[in-house]
Amino acid sequence: MGSEFPRSPKVQKGGIVAYQFPELLPTVVVFQYNPDEVQRSLQARGSSGGGRGDAHRVSGPPDETLTFTVEIDAADQLEQPRDNALTVENGLHPIFAALEGLVHPPYPMVIANEALALAGSAFILGEQAPLALLVWGARRVLPVAVQSLSVREEAFDQALNPIRAKVELSLKVLTYRDLDVTNPGYWVYLAAFTQKETLGAMNTLGDRRGIQGLLPF
């Protein structure tokens, strides 16, 4: 949650940026309040087989999932209705639509495919969700796919527009094994992977002298 103290340091906001190519203008969802916690789960991709010598062999990067809850509240905007006409008219529906758009194919493509199907065409355009980037500080910008999105609407205005809600998100990190080299997300992941290698080499936490004498080699 954001601090109410005016002298508190300004905290960088997290968010999700989504691109529906070939359009270059992204949909940007900035977290009104940063989640209090983020749960990360990494599961190694073991290689097939299991013969002698394969114990340390992996089949690409691990499957990584990030789960967190975002709180959204329109109270501040509703206190100044003249400056926030869209929120007064629609409540939180616009941000819900932006978030749900992360798991929907583009509307024009859906309509085009419906028209092709009605015309008896055997050719159907591929329907793909947008490329989403989780932006969680300068050291964590990752291409992700939304695995699940759960919205809990907690308060409503007189027109039954939601004005306070919690959104639970589960995001799967997309790696170079999931994305084609022509996809910009491929290079975003490699940049994050390179940065992780650099950060790992910078690890100096803990006193190594207490363990070095126990190492077998």
Which pLDDT does position 31 carry in this prediction? Answer: 96
Residue 69 located in a structural domain: yes
Which pLDDT does position 106 carry in this prediction? Answer: 75
Q: Distance between CA 131 and CA 58 in Å, rounded?
A: 27
Which pLDDT does position 40 carry in this prediction? Answer: 96
Give the Å distances, CA to CA, from 134 to 187, 194, 203. 14, 17, 24
Q: What is the pLDDT of residues 191-217, one digit of tens each?
A: 999 999 999 999 888 777 778 778 887
87-96, 99-108, 141-150, 160-169: range with lowest mean pLDDT:
99-108
What is the DSSP code (8-state) at residue 58? B
Q: Summarize the confidence of residues 171-184 as an average pLDDT.
A: 94
Residue 176 located in a structural domain: yes
Q: What share of the chain is helix, strand, coil (3-state, %, to 5)?
A: 25, 30, 45
Q: Distance between CA 54 and CA 46 in Å, rounded?
A: 9
pLDDT at 7 over 90: no
**Total structural domains within the chain:** 1
Tokens encoding 170: 């589960």
Cβ pair 40, 64 in contact under 8 A:
yes
Higher pLDDT, 206 or 140: 140
Mean pLDDT over all residues of the chain?
Answer: 88
Which run of H or E residues covers position 109? helix 107-118
Residue 156 located in a structural domain: yes
Residue 73 located in a structural domain: yes
Q: Distance between CA 179 and CA 190 in Å, rounded?
A: 11
Q: Distance between CA 194 and CA 153 in Å, rounded?
A: 39
Which pLDDT does position 67 carry in this prediction? Answer: 98
Going by C-alpha positions, the residue among 203, 181, 185 that lies closest to residue 142 is: 185
Residue 72 located in a structural domain: yes
Tokens encoding 46: 């073991």
Residue 6 located in a structural domain: no
Q: What is the pLDDT of residues 90-128, one digit of tens each?
A: 999 999 999 999 988 777 777 777 787 787 776 666 667
The segment with the largest mean pLDDT, out of 23-32, 35-44, 108-117, 201-210, is 35-44
9-18, 45-54, 122-131, 188-197: range with lowest mean pLDDT:
45-54
Residue 105 located in a structural domain: yes
Give pTM, 2 decimals.
Answer: 0.83
29: domain range? 15-42+58-198
144: β partners: 132, 173
Residue 9 located in a structural domain: no
Which pLDDT does position 205 carry in this prediction? Answer: 83
